[in-house]
Amino acid sequence: MSTSLLLLILATALLHATWNLIIKSGDNKLFETGLLTAGGFFLCLCLLPFLPLPRPEAWPYLAISCLCHTVYYIYLAGTYEKVDLCLGYTVMRGTAPLLTSLFLLLLGNSLSLPAFGGVLVLCSGIFCLACDALRGGSGARGIQYSLITAVLIAGYTLLDGLGARQSGDGASYACWLFVLKMVPLTTYILLRYKRSYWQYARKRPLPGLLGGVACVISYGIAIWAMTKAPIPVVAALRETSVIFGMLLSILILHEKLTVLRVVAVLLVAAGAAILKLA
């Protein structure tokens, strides 16, 4: 993997942590996810006329991924309703790359020993962050939501990595994904909450739209990167976003920096270095 690609993936990690912070900071986490998808929808809708259509082989991946993303956003909102940003974010993002690697191995794909070692080291650091957060006494229900969300993350990461490769154009695949996935999530929110969603949206349009733009750029580049480098490696490097998530939680949510968190940051950095050499 080239240095420029590595730095680009790390930049997407910062953007990813930022839009998660936006969701966490909102009064209604589910409505925030709806506004975020709306922001992504409008941005990508403007880009679609300049992009080719994905190949027919990619549309089944898009359809299944849209459903997976819908359930993911529901559980993401539920996670942030139950636990703080540090715990929920680290458990979700830390479990996902390991699951992605296991899914690929089950499907018969190979992963080099250094790359797999990098994934394990990186995940070890992320789990250290989660263990530190557990000291705060977060409930089992929140952990359950976080783990379910991690499974969904692994699922759509695999689907979109494979779908982007089938599409012939990673940017086109990403834009169509953001346009299509707003429909089922917005329909779900409107059917369940009706006018209260529109009232909430009028109060916080800007954060949601900005979060959507950050989400599009972050995930769009990640999908493109999956066409240039092994999917598990890209997925694992994106999980360095927990470092940015931790820093944002300290600076904005005023959480403490503990010794265990410092150790975790070093493990994550070591994992990223191993992946760079893989």
Domain borders along the chain are 3-277
What pLDDT was estimated at residue 278?
A: 61
What pLDDT was estimated at residue 119?
A: 78
CB-based contacts of 156-160 (< 8 A; 24+ apart in sequence)? 156/65, 156/68, 156/69, 156/72, 157/96, 157/100, 157/231, 157/235, 158/100, 158/103, 158/104, 158/231, 159/61, 159/64, 159/65, 159/68, 160/61, 160/65, 160/219, 160/223, 160/226
Cut 0.95: pTM above it = no
What pLDDT was estimated at residue 136?
A: 62
What pLDDT was estimated at residue 83?
A: 81
What pLDDT was estimated at residue 274?
A: 76
What pLDDT was estimated at residue 157?
A: 81
Residue identified by tokens 């890209």 is 234
Distance CA 75, CA 196 (A): 20
What pLDDT was estimated at residue 117?
A: 81
The pLDDT averaged over each successive group of 10 residues in the chain (278 residues) is: 82 89 90 93 93 93 94 94 81 72 70 77 78 65 82 86 87 92 94 90 84 86 79 74 83 79 80 68
What pLDDT was estimated at residue 237?
A: 76
